[in-house]
Structure 1
Amino acid sequence: MRIAGFFQELWAPPFGKAAGSVRDFTRPTPYEDAKKITEYLLAGHDIFSVMGSSEDVFGSGKTVLGGDSILSDNEWIWRGDLWFYVWNYHVQLPEEFLKRVRDNNYRTPAEDEIQLVEIAKYVQANL
């Protein structure tokens, strides 16, 4: 299990050492397949759902409903607001994650209940 979008502004220290600031991972242009990537991120399996909204860490004043939620594709986890940063700020994602997304033809794999339970335990232990 790995974290996509592991930036210091978005994840608590117990999850490990972040890749750095989300500000350092913006791209000048969006991914060519940004729409499909954001759809994949939005379609992840719920691991930890949070009602409410999270504020844009770039300071735009926008909020993202369920932004603090955590989603998964049975292998990777990410925050509910990661799609927002990919779409609006062209935030870079790990190449290994993008390969998985593209290899799965932008479709979240079917739920693997055993794996998702293990991921949920990991998330709960680090919140």
Structure 2
Amino acid sequence: MTNVAPLGIFGRLASQSAFSESADELRRRVGEIPKGERREIAGYLRSGAPIIALMGYSEDVLGNEFFCPGGPGIMSDGHFFWRGDTADYVEHYGIGLPEEFIAHGTARRWIAPALSRDDIIEIDDRLGELRRAGAL
């Protein structure tokens, strides 16, 4: 379980101001997920386990369509990790996600696994290692 992978651009631990610097990269990926698939994928992302909960909220850096309490926090399904506001970007803009994640979610029928307390601690420890290494 400790080999959790970042979910592309959303697999970064970043403040709102730092994440807003990714707006151009996000814009390039708008519409990559068809409208008919967005809700199911967003539901999966929202049902991930919170790993790093942060106070505050994030604001939509593309068009002010939403804000997300705890948006800069990190969630996981035990295989990938992502920002808490990822589901909103997928749902509102269809921001593309890595093919490996799409295949993973499709194979799971977009039902996120329940993570145990030990799983969450193990993932948090791994993310701590990545932060200390400067990889997050």
TM over 0.5: yes
Separation of aligned partners in 2, 1:111 and 1:49: 16
TM-score where L is the length of structure 2: 0.73
Match of 2:85 among 76, 81, 85: 81
1:122 lines up with 2:129 in the alignment: yes
CA contact (8 A) 1:5 1:82 kept: no
- 1:26 is aligned with what amino acid? V
CA contact (8 A) 2:65 2:92 kept: no
Percent of pairs identical after alignment? 31
Separation of aligned partners in 2, 1:44 and 1:22: 22
- 1:64 is aligned with what amino acid? C
Quote the offset at 1:124 in angstroms: 4.7
Quote the offset at 1:34 in angstroms: 1.5
**1:36-47 equivalences in 2 (<5 Å):** 36-47=40-51
Match of 1:93 among 90, 97, 105: 97
CA contact (8 A) 1:7 1:21 kept: no
Aligned length: 120
- SS of the aligned residue for 1:46 comes to strand
CA contact (8 A) 1:48 1:120 kept: no
**Which has more helix, going by share of residues?**
2
Instruction: Please name the residue that 2:6 is paired with.
Output: 3
1:65 lines up with 2:69 in the alignment: yes
1:104 lines up with 2:108 in the alignment: yes
